[in-house]
Amino acid sequence: MTKPVILHLEGVTKQYEQMPQPAVANVTLTLFQGDLLGFLGPSGCGKTTLLRIVAGFEQPQSGIVVLAGRQVASPSIWIPPEQRDTGMVFQDYALFPHLNVAQNVAFGLKNSRRRNTKLSVKQRTSEALALVGLSGMEKRYPHELSGGQQQRVALARALAPQPALILLDEPLSNLDVQVRLRLRQEVRTILKETGISAIFVTHDQEEALSISDQVAVMRQGHLEQLGTPEEIYTCPASRFVAEFVTQANFLPARRRGNFWETEVGAFEVKTEQFNTPHLSLDKGDLMLRAENVILKPDNNSVVIIRDRNFLGREYQYCLQTPSGKRLHARTALNTQLSVGTRVKLSVADLSVQIFPTAS
């Protein structure tokens, strides 16, 4: 059964006077009830601007925004943020320092469009804090909490009014690595338990892939690709997506039958692994994912290991080709090779793709 649509954007464009290019350019996408959508892209790509358009903090020049079946933005319609039935979690948490935890969470309820009695405010506050694992901390103030706990309070405040959509603007970027890794899974679990749809803005590829049901990769205001994390990673629609999301290696290559010849060897590419627009290429750039590169010592090879980094669960090797190009490979700990070793390259599962040569 098809899930209800919670958000639909059609041809949304936002242009600032001082900028030569639109911050958001003709973006169309749909988010279904209960799904988590990640906006992923480098700084300045338009992901936060698009989030602010959905929230109502920015007004697009063209296009429409439909939230929970109600049109909230178009050339002739503008619904202010407080009437959009959304919850917002900011990067800096935006907690009120003079209010305790319970009062911060209750603030969202008291300013909700829904009518809340004093009893219902107290009940929803307790439920929201229990949901984020902060029961018993109602009387504490923000400065008495860790960064992770402050983020949970901000999430509880957004969840308490039970909005149609929650918007999270890089909510984990100010946290330590270990806290961020743990909290991103907790955030996904909490949102899934409530059934509330959410949009999650991040520039962290791993974060977007791990927390999202759908990922929207943005570049210079444009929606470059929209798909599941698996689709985005395994079948990037453009070289930009391949470089930004997979951080893969690219080698100039020329086609010889079913094989593509490069300066480090020839690789077979199955027809179904081609991106459709590139089927007619006879030369291009071959993409090799670092985790799929197999290294085998070979004194006759033209590839040399220039550096090796220990990353705890794996090694990362920096390789140099005859032309001086640097490639990267990630291997399990049972592959331990010394700097200066000559190695032959192969791939684990023919997981290579061809893209037009970068201009």
pLDDT over 80 (residue 281)? no
Same domain assignment for residues 181 and 140: yes
Q: Which of 170-184, 287-301, 312-326 has the lowest mean pLDDT?
A: 170-184
For residues 335-350, give the mean pLDDT: 89
CB atoms within 10 A of CB 256: 10
Note whether residue 240 is domain-resident: no
- Higher-pLDDT residue of 234, 114: 234
In this prediction, residue 359 carries a pLDDT of 63
Same-domain pairing of 160 and 125 = yes
Q: Report the pLDDT value the prediction gives residue 178, as an integer from 0 to 100.
A: 80
* 197-202 and 36-40 beta bridge pairing: parallel
Domain housing 101: 5-234
| pLDDT in the model for residue 350 | 58
Q: Judge whether residue 117 has pLDDT over 90.
A: no
Q: Which domain-ending residue is among 183, 202, 234?
A: 234
Residue 264 tokens, joined: 């480090």
293: left (phi over 0), alpha (psi -120 to 50) or beta: beta
**216 and 89 in a common domain:** yes
Q: How far is 339 from 133, CA to CA, in rounded Å?
A: 48
| pLDDT averaged over every residue in the chain | 90
pLDDT for res 79: 95
User: What pLDDT shows up at residue 272?
Assistant: 45
CB atoms closer than 10 angstroms to residue 68 = 17
Domain final residue pick, 234, 259, 278:
234
Q: Are 268 and 258 in contact (CB under 8 A)?
A: yes
Last residue of a domain, one of 202, 234, 266: 234
Residue 86, domain CATH: 3.40.50.300
Instruction: Kindly report the backbone phi and psi dihedral angles of residue 14, in degrees, each rounded to the nearest multiple of 5, phi listed first.
Output: -130, 120
Is residue 86 situated within a structural domain?
A: yes
H-run or E-run covering 152: helix 147-159
For the stretch 199-220, pLDDT in tens is 999 999 999 999 999 999 999 9
Residue 317 reports pLDDT greater than 50: yes
The label of the residue with tokens 């009014």 reads 161
Q: Looking at this protein, which amino acid is placed at residue 161? A: P
Q: What whole-number percentage of the chain has pLDDT above 70?
A: 93
Q: Do 170 and 284 fall within a single domain?
A: no
Q: Which residue type sits at 292?
A: N
Report the pLDDT averaged over residues 71-94.
Answer: 91
Residue 176: inside a domain: yes
298: tokens are: 């070979």
Same structural domain, 212 and 255: no
Alpha-carbon span 12 to 3, nearest angstrom: 23
User: Is 206 found in the same domain as 102?
Assistant: yes
**In a shared domain, residues 210 and 253:** no
Residues 33 and 177 in one domain: yes
Q: How many residues does the chain have?
A: 359
CA distances from 313 to 18, 226, 349 (A): 47, 31, 21
Work out the pLDDT band at 121, boundaries 50, 70, 90.
confident
Q: Do 325 and 245 contact (CB within 8 A), yes or no?
A: no
Instruction: Indicate whether 239 belongs to any domain.
Output: no
pLDDT tens track for 3-21: 899 999 999 999 998 888 9
**What's residue 10's pLDDT?**
98
Tell me whether residue 61 is in a domain.
yes
215 and 291 in a common domain = no
CA separation for the pair 302, 265 (Å, rounded)? 9
pLDDT greater than 50 at residue 278? no
Whether residue 241 lies inside any domain: the answer is no
Q: What is the dihedral of CA 89, 183, 7, 86, to 10 degrees?
A: -30
Q: Please check whether residue 198 lies inside any domain of the structure.
A: yes
The least confident of 40-44, 115-119, 292-296, 298-302 is 115-119
**pLDDT the model gives residue 97:** 94
Residue at 209 is within a domain: yes
Number of domains in the chain: 2
